[in-house]
Amino acid sequence: MEWKKNCLITAAALFLATLIAYLFYLATGSANNISMIYVLAVALIARFSTGYLPGILASVISVFIVNGVFTYPYGRLNFTMAGYPLTFLGILSVSIIISATTTHLKTQARQIQEQERLLLEADKEKMRANLLRAISHDLRTPLTAIIGSSSAYLENKKELSEAEQEALVSGIHEDANWLLNMVENLLTVTRINADTASVVKTEESVEEVVAEAVTRLKKRLPDISVRVKVPDAFYMIPMDATLIEQVIINLLENAARHSGTLKPIELNVYPNGKAMQFDVIDYGKGIPAERLNSIFDGDAAYSRNGSGEAFKGMGIGLSICKTIILAHKGSITAENHSGGAKFSFTLPMQDC
């Protein structure tokens, strides 16, 4: 019960204040500053109890204790001494003000925490909606292509040349690989705690994580050209290595598929203040200016090549990248440079 907790806190704080005041009185022989001990006790009661009543009640009790125990004549209440009524009112007023102010600040802090929680929930709900929208698009597009190509192959096999048959099968194979990649992306999200939007981090070598991501990507896209630059110093930073590898893979694959160029992609990793920064830079056509602010919001129709084709947008991949990096308490951005596009994300070098 809340009132029992308040009573226990009030009684314990006043008892401790009285004990300290008594020891102080024995040591100094003076009761001049004892009231300050009770003012501090009132502040602590207001801080750790709930509501205004415990602090105000403690203020009144404190004044009576100071008067009856530490003011002559001892053991009796005497509010008739010269100047004491003013002192009584002063101490009582200060105690009540401190109690009320502390309680009010605590109430404000709770309201701010509640607002932050609601904002976090709203942000998570927005991410979830964007992700579902991206999934629905990215599932439908390759599945439609697979169904169409397989139907064309089965229905017209005798009329199709060997080259046409091979093209249809190759398309089915590519779309199936894309679906597999999307499933891998979705599985990575299950590693993120749904309630706290956080991940389990361990100290990992930045160089090894980058090397593993590039190796995994080259198995899928053997022709991709990536220039990697990592710090000369050895860095261990807290992260979920599997998730960060997936982010690097998604960004590199995005650059390879949508930049519209065969020029090598750069992956630069370097310390930036208290964070480790990862830059994926391509030298293609860049990102349309109207898409920069919403590129991580799960719009699966995103394509930088300007062709308007519906083939495999990176909406879900970029949306997942944002979800993973935010779960690591990092940041992720996209921008154009003079020769193409740059995607950057940061990871705190200390756990937070």
Tell me the average pLDDT across 189-195: 65
* pLDDT attached to residue 110: 84
The candidate with the shortest Cα–Cα distance to 212, out of 188, 241, 235, 189, is 241
Mean pLDDT, the chain, whole residue set? 81
Topology annotation, domain 191-348: Heat Shock Protein 90 (3.30.565)
* pLDDT attached to residue 37: 86
DSSP assignments along 111-151, one per residue: HHHHHHHHHHHHHHHHHHHHHHHHHHHHHHHHHHHHHHHHH
* pLDDT attached to residue 92: 66
pTM here? 0.57
CA distance 43 to 49: 10
Q: Tell me the per-residue pLDDT of 11-63, one tens digit each, with 9 for 90 and over.
A: 998 899 889 988 888 888 777 778 788 888 887 887 788 777 787 788 778 87
* pLDDT attached to residue 196: 61
* pLDDT attached to residue 291: 84
User: Percentage of residues in the chain with pLDDT exceeding 90?
Assistant: 25
User: Domain map of the chain by residue range?
Assistant: 2-114, 191-348
Q: Tell me the per-residue pLDDT of 282-323, one tens digit each, with 9 for 90 and over.
A: 999 998 888 888 888 765 444 444 444 434 555 577 888 888
DSSP assignments along 57-69, one per residue: HHHHHHHHHHHHH
* pLDDT attached to residue 309: 42
* pLDDT attached to residue 300: 42
